[in-house]
Amino acid sequence: MSDESGTQELGITESKEHNPGEWYAEVVQKAGLADYAPMGGFIVTRPRGYALWERLQDHLDGWFKETGVQNAYFPLFIPESYLEREKDIVEGFDPEVAWVTHGGHDELDERLAVRPTSESIIAPFMAEWVRSYRDLPLRLNQWCSVVRWEATETKPFFRTKEFLWQEGHTAHATGEDAWDETMTRLGQYERLYEEVMAIPGMTGRKPEHDKFPGADTTTTIEALMPDGKSVQAGTSHHLGTSFAEAFDITYTDEDEEERIAHTTSWGLSWRALGALIMTHSDDQGLVIPPKLAPTQVVIVPIWQSDTEDEVKEYAADLAAELDEEFRVELDDRDERNPGFKFNEHELNGVPLRIEIGPNEVDDEEATLVHRPDGESEVADREAITESVQDALDTVYAKLYANAEETLENNIREAHGRGEILGTLGKHGGYVKTGWCGDEACEAEIKDQIAAEIVMLPLEEDYEPVHDTCGVCGEESVETAYFAKSY
């Protein structure tokens, strides 16, 4: 947004509470995270936005490798004949597949799909690489982009035709081993959201009609946004033997018998960044939890002409010490006043600001200001490293507590079609109700209010919250969580 002189307004002008869609788009652009690409449905990820993705990636990638995963890379293009070998994949993704038909001026002998997901190109190589039980488990992961040609309005990080993600693919000797793998990855996604992103997640599984094409079970972690919508924050799929049968992933067991492998796949995309921005940010701009923040601490010296040298020297010494433990920026620009700097760093989401003026120098102290709420505290210079760590821990705790309160206050029980629709219409959030297992009952709610079953409890023998289905009144077999979703 620009004023008449053509200069961009620094601050956020939209309200998160009243115009969350416009507010979100403004935060993404003004905090320097992304721009819209010239082709509809695509975005340009700017350095500050990509830095967030890299930090998120570092956490997950480390955990993956600690649990036996190796990174690899497979081609962007998948031959049509490969894609067709698993019929559920073809049927599930066909409306969203982008096809390459020409190479230069020449028409290709076989169409190539731009990967919507990579099972169909990875599974054939897993079949080649697995011969014996000694080759199992095989755990592969790739960080890449995929393309799904959805005809939806672009919402940076939430909804784009091309998006960044990681996709893990594993093969195991038994179904039990594959299920353990599925749950391990779901647990790592939950850990990422809770420990790193300060967002409480709800883990469960998708209903049969909404699981990954070809999967036995799709598990999910769902995160509730402040606007009452749910985000599918990551999924981990127990694929059973369907892909192994389609692509002949077999192994010879200890008795020299040929067995079919059991496979999994699991993925988390940059939708996590959308959830991060939407959950924590406010009308001043971006808010980032300390573990993900590219800059964790900004030091702003405040001086007059007669105190400039001593204040700058004190601030520089402080920055040098803290730089050994934290990601620190010393903002000693002459051309900007302190108020401008405060607003700019708030807009960019720096978790902690340290203000240094003549009083702090004289008293050998530092003033620490928390980004989420502007709370300030005074720390002794001698214990500054410990004080900054405590302050960052407090910032994380505040963010998590706010998100947890939002979640806890927005899970409601409802029974009966009218009550379900009324509760979702008035409050949003999650509505818990009994479900008979019939997709038609979900469709009845979806047609009325664009809400769907986003999650079922993981335990299949979980006792339903109601004896009867909240929509049709027939016997209940599940507890379903309805919500509007991104």
Positive or negative: CA dihedral 277, 278, 282, 284: positive
- 195-221 as b/e: b if 16+ CB within 10 A: ebbbbbbbbbbbbeebbbbbbbbbbbb
User: From CA 368, how far away is CA 182, in angstroms rounded?
Assistant: 43
| pLDDT class of 5 with cuts at 50, 70, 90 | very low
Q: Tokens for 93, please give them.
A: 């993704």
In 96-254, DSSP assigns E strands to: 98-103, 106-114, 138-147, 162-172, 202-205, 217-224, 230-240, 250-252
Q: What is the pLDDT of residue 461?
A: 56
Element at 280 (helix H, strand E): helix 271-280
Please, where are the H alpha helices in 286-354? 308-322, 338-347
Share the mean pLDDT of the chain. 94
Which residue do the tokens 């002794």 mark?
380
- What mean pLDDT is predicted for residues 131-155? 93
Pairing mode of beta strands 262-269, 162-172: antiparallel
pLDDT, tens digit, 9 for 90 and up, residues 324-345: 999 999 999 999 999 999 999 9
Res. 284: pLDDT tops 80:
yes
Which helix (H) or strand (E) segment holds residue 21: the answer is helix 20-30
pLDDT for residue 471 is more than 70: yes
With contact defined as beta carbons under 8 Å apart, do 74 and 142 qualify? yes
Cα dihedral value 138, 188, 430, 15, nearest 10: -120
* This prediction's pTM: 0.94
**Mean pLDDT value of segment 116-120:** 92
pLDDT in tens, 7-59: 456 689 999 999 999 999 999 999 999 999 999 999 999 999 999 999 999 99
Residue 486 and residue 159 in contact, taking contact as beta carbons nearer than 8 Å: yes
Find, among 394, 308, 296, the residue nearest to 353 by Cα: 296
Both tokens of 193, joined, read: 């959201």
- Amino acid at residue number 184: T
Cβ 262 vs Cβ 282: under 8 Å: no
> Residue 45 is inside which H or E element, if any?
strand 43-45
Q: What is the DSSP letter of 133?
A: G
Share of the chain above pLDDT 90, in %: 92
Count Cα atoms within 13 angstroms, Cβ side, for 424.
27
pLDDT digits (tens, 9 = 90+) for 144-156: 999 999 867 889 9
pLDDT digits (tens, 9 = 90+) for 287-298: 999 999 999 999
State which H helix or E strand residue 478 sits in.
Answer: strand 478-483
User: Residue by residue, what is the 3-state secondary structure of 336-371?
Assistant: CCHHHHHHHHHHCCCCEEEEECHHHHHHCEEEEEEC
Cα(306)–Cα(84) distance, rounded to whole angstroms? 75
Residue for token digits 């799929």? 237
Domains with residue ranges and CATH for the chain = 32-280 (3.30.930.10), 297-392 (3.40.50.800), 411-483 (3.30.110.30)
Residue 93 has pLDDT above 80, yes or no: no
How much is the pLDDT for 350? 98
Angle between helices 271-280 and 384-408 (to 10 degrees): 90
Match 């967030």 to its residue by tokens: 52
* Model pLDDT for residues 183-207, shown as the tens digit of each residue: 999 999 999 999 999 999 999 999 9
Strand pairing class (70-71; 138-147): parallel
Residue % of the chain over a pLDDT of 70: 97
The dihedrals phi and psi of 140, each to the nearest 5 degrees, come to: -120, 150
For residues 401 and 11, give the distance between their C-alpha atoms in angstroms, rounded to a whole number.
26
235 touches 266 (CB < 8 A)? yes
92 residue type, one letter = G
303-322 per-position pLDDT tens digit: 999 999 999 999 999 999 99
Work out the average pLDDT over 386-404: 98
Q: Given pLDDT bands bounded at 50, 70 and 90, which one contains residue 85?
A: confident
Distance in Å from the first CA to the final CA of the chain: 25
**DSSP secondary structure letters along 178-192:** HHHHHHHHHHHHHHI
Report pLDDT for 153: 82
CA angle in degrees (0–180, nearest 5) for 171-177-180? 110
In eight-state DSSP terms, residue 378 is E
Q: Hey, which residues does 413 pair with through a beta bridge?
A: 432
- The per-residue pLDDT for 388 is 98
Q: What pLDDT, on the 0 to 100 scale, is given for residue 3?
A: 38
Q: Can you tell me whether residue 264 is helix, strand or coil?
A: strand
Task: Find residue 71's DSSP bridge partners.
Answer: 141
Give me the pLDDT at residue 6, please. Answer: 37
